[in-house]
Amino acid sequence: MTKGRFKAYLAIRYGNNTAEKIQSIFEFNKTLSFEEYRQNLLKLLSQRNLLLQLAFDVFDTNGDNRISELDLFKVFFSFNQSGLAE
CA–CA dist 40, 45 (Å, integer): 9
Residue 7: the pLDDT is 85
Q: Is pLDDT larger for residue 68 or for residue 25? A: 68
> 9 by DSSP, 3-state: which?
helix
> 26 by DSSP, 3-state: which?
coil
**Per-residue pLDDT at 37 exceeds 60:** yes
Q: Is the pTM of this model over 0.95?
A: no
Residue 83: the pLDDT is 59
Residue 70: the pLDDT is 93
